[in-house]
């Protein structure tokens, strides 16, 4: 009986140890798919498969802020079919106006009419655009269209939008992907997830640690023309957690007319693509929406003005790749960004 007692006790202890080991074992899941004209890639530590919930949340997001959905909130506002805004549009609008003011109008989601004119928006309705994708819009047409651009021409009050001009439209692609990453992150936080990485169209929110118990490793692309998801190369790899990361560049999306290239980083104040030495900029901020907006703004503003903005703000860092006066590729980054390179 004594031997049987010790045998049973040993079995009980063994079961308890095994149970504890199983309960502390982390399960990392991976899910990917198409969204917003691009792709998402999500890694998260959780016992339950959340793919259906992720799909539902992203579709719900599109119903608010997709320029490609004719029934979305933003589309109805653009075509004056409604003046009602929802919580997602208000959140995007508030952050957009904040960055618009900080950057003296270099970031402006009402640049949509100009973006469409250049063929960088969601529609291309001009006959001359159909003839040649690389044809440049007429300067008089740009000047005429520029009248409708400016966040000072729109406002929200009591959940209703008013416009100074009915022709004013919003384009969400310079901020919405970042906001969508934050939107999913908020859901994960509510569930209690401790470790996850969300990437949507290159915009990223990281939290906690990866499956190796380390900070998340994020590759920043080399600015090489013609690269896509299948053939990208890393410029550097950073280690990061609890931050949003966004990269903007002109090396993938541009027009070429003769020997001149026109990048898709449009200056909302002039109606023309920004011309400066920047090839790409990666911004790190507390949330991905903020990182996304400033990455777009910095590509318009250029290196020197962007560095001054960073010096004046808290919790914003950036990594710039640019061409020097001799045409050689150079790199400069803010002091705080160096922490992510260690």
Question: Over 60: is that where the pLDDT of 281 sits?
Answer: yes
Question: Over 80: is that where the pLDDT of 20 sits?
Answer: no
pLDDT for residue 262: 59
Res. 35 pLDDT band, cuts 50 70 90: confident
> Which domains does the chain carry?
55-163 (1.10.3980.10), 174-341 (3.10.520.10)
Question: Over 80: is that where the pLDDT of 130 sits?
Answer: no
Q: In degrees rounded to 5, what are phi and psi of residue 12?
A: -65, -45
* Separation CA 142–CA 91 (nearest Å): 29
Q: What is the DSSP letter of 341?
A: G
Q: Which has the minimum average pLDDT: 102-111, 138-147, 151-160, 255-264?
A: 255-264
pLDDT for residue 122: 81
Question: Over 50: is that where the pLDDT of 80 sits?
Answer: yes
* Those residues with Cβ within 8 angstroms of residue 124's Cβ, 6 or more apart along the chain or in another chain: 116, 130
pLDDT for residue 7: 35
pLDDT for residue 199: 97
pLDDT for residue 303: 96
Q: What is the mean pLDDT of the segment spanning 164-169?
A: 98
For β-strands 317-323 and 278-285, DSSP reports them as antiparallel
Task: State the chain's mean pLDDT as an integer.
Answer: 87
Q: Which has the minimum average pLDDT: 18-22, 76-80, 272-276?
A: 18-22
pLDDT for residue 157: 96
pLDDT for residue 165: 98
pLDDT for residue 36: 73
Per the DSSP assignment, residues forming a β-bridge with 256 are 261
pLDDT for residue 16: 32
Name the pTM for this structure: 0.88
Number of Cβ atoms within 10 Å of the Cβ of 57: 16
The 10s digit of each residue's pLDDT in 185-216 is 999 999 999 999 999 999 999 999 999 999 99
The 10s digit of each residue's pLDDT in 102-121 is 999 999 999 999 999 988 88
The dihedral through the CA atoms of 318, 299, 219, 40 has a sign that is positive
Dmax over CA atoms of the chain, in Å, equals 100
* Separation CA 114–CA 271 (nearest Å): 6
pLDDT for residue 74: 98
- CB-count exposure of residue 113 (10 Å: 0-12, 13-18, 19+): buried
The 10s digit of each residue's pLDDT in 39-79 is 999 999 999 999 999 999 999 999 999 999 999 999 999 99
Question: Over 70: is that where the pLDDT of 244 sits?
Answer: yes
Question: Over 50: is that where the pLDDT of 19 sits?
Answer: no
The 10s digit of each residue's pLDDT in 212-230 is 999 999 999 888 766 565 6
């Amino acid at each position: 009986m004594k031997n049987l007692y010790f045998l049973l006790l040993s079995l009980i202890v063994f079961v308890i140890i095994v149970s504890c080991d199983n309960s502390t074992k982390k399960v990392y899941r991976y899910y990917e798919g198409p969204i917003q004209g691009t792709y998402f890639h999500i890694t998260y530590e959780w016992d339950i498969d959340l793919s259906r919930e992720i799909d539902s949340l992203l579709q719900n997001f599109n119903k608010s802020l997709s320029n490609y959905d004719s029934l979305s909130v933003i589309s109805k506002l653009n075509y004056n079919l409604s003046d009602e805004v929802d919580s997602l549009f208000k959140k995007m609008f508030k952050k957009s106006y904040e960055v618009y003011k900080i950057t003296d109008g270099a970031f402006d989601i009402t640049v949509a009419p100009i973006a469409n004119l250049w063929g960088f928006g969601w529609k291309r309705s001009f006959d001359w655009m159909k003839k040649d994708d690389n044809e440049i819009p007429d300067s008089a047409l740009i000047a005429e269209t520029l009248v409708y651009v400016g966040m000072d021409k729109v406002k929200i009050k009591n959940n209703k939008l008013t416009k100074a001009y009915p022709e004013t439209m919003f384009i969400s692609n310079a901020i919405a992907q970042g906001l969508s990453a934050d939107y999913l992150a908020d859901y994960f936080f509510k569930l209690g997830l401790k470790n996850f990485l969300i990437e949507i169209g290159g915009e990223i929110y990281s939290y906690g640690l990866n499956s190796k118990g380390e900070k998340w490793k994020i590759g920043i692309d080399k600015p090489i023309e013609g690269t896509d998801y299948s053939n990208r190369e890393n410029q550097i790899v950073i280690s990061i957690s609890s931050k949003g990361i966004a990269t903007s560049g002109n090396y993938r999306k541009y027009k070429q007319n003769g020997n001149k290239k026109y990048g898709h980083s449009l200056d909302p104040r002039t109606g023309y693509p920004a011309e400066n030495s920047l090839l790409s900029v990666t911004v790190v901020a507390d949330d991905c929406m903020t990182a996304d907006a400033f990455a777009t703004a910095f590509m318009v503003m250029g290196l020197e003005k962007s560095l001054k903005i960073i010096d004046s703000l808290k919790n914003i860092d950036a990594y710039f790749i640019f061409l020097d006066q001799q045409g050689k590729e150079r790199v400069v980054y803010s002091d705080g960004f160096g922490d992510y390179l260690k």
